[in-house]
Amino acid sequence: MTTALIADDEPHLAQYLKTQLAQVWPELQIVKIAANGVEAAQAIAELEPDLAFLDIQMPGLTGLEVAQGIEGATRVVFVTAYDQYAVEAFEARAVDYLLKPLKVERLATCVTRLRREAPAPAGDDALAETLKRLLPAAAASARLRYIRAAQGELMHQIPVDEVLFFHADDKYTVVQTATAEHLIRTPIFELSGQLDPDRFWQVHRSTIINLDHLAGTRRDEQSRLFVRIRGQARELPVSRAYVHLFKAM
């Protein structure tokens, strides 16, 4: 029996893919649904599935990074909303790909190919060469563009451009926009790896600011540095480890 892992940080999309796979490949056994890249990498190493359907944009590790770390014979199918990955590399037939939103006809074609083609021999470097070309572009494209924050039964889709700053608060991270405050469970250290470092600066172990909304800085009598965000009366402290970022300002 052929086994497979699905990795996607959006549970409903992972479940949808599982449902569609059950229709076009009833014999396929899904051994794991991973919610992020780290979980996917660990599960692939432990379970050694025949196939891994990897979303490219996942927290912790991207699907490309997970694929790069596979040491066994697991074959990879990438799932992505960005067709620029497909144009150059995926058609090289080192791997297959599925574009979001998922089309059942394309999935059926992918399954036919997977069932027909033999796994690449051990030591084959086609996938490694493909990933080498893709990883730099993926690092930029994988940056967060939206923050999803639940409020009761309503799920808000917040463009990161509108976020003034992120601030860790006990169990939650506050997402502050000009008009509202939202709470998410994603920790600051995880956000820092997903945001564009040219636009979002971590200024404290619990705070990341959006430079597009930076109004200025202030030092107090003890030479402690604070940043001011446009439209916000509250000042945010800059810890000593990050003061050097503002020396050129």
From 238, 151, 130, select the one nearest 249 (Cα to Cα).
Answer: 238
Does the 3-141 domain belong in CATH 3.90.1070.10?
no
Contact 166, 174 (CB under 8 A): yes
Q: What is the pLDDT of residue 62?
A: 82
Residue 86 has pLDDT above 60, yes or no: no
Q: What is the pLDDT of residue 93?
A: 46
Write out the CATH class of domain 146-246.
mainly beta
| Phi and psi torsions of 65, nearest 5° | -70, -35
Tell me the C-alpha distance between 228 and 23, whole Å. Answer: 55
Lowest mean pLDDT among 36-45, 81-90, 180-189: 81-90
Contact 141, 84 (CB under 8 A): yes
Structure-token match 């919610």, residue found: 35
3-state secondary structure 8-77: CCCHHHHHHHHHHHHHHCCCCEEEEEECCHHHHHHHHHHHCCCEEEEECCCCCCCHHHHHHCCCCCCEEE
From 25, 34, 24, 19, select the one nearest 3 (Cα to Cα).
Answer: 25
pLDDT band at 110 (very low <50, low <70, confident <90, very high): very high
State the Cα torsion 204-209-213-217 to the nearest 10°. 10
Domain residue extents for the chain = 3-141, 146-246
Residue 118 has pLDDT above 80, yes or no: no
To the nearest 10 degrees (0 to 180), the angle between helices 104-116 and 11-24 is 60
Region 19-37 average pLDDT: 96
Tell me the C-alpha distance between 17 and 211, whole Å. Answer: 38
Strand 146-151 and strand 96-99: pairing? unpaired
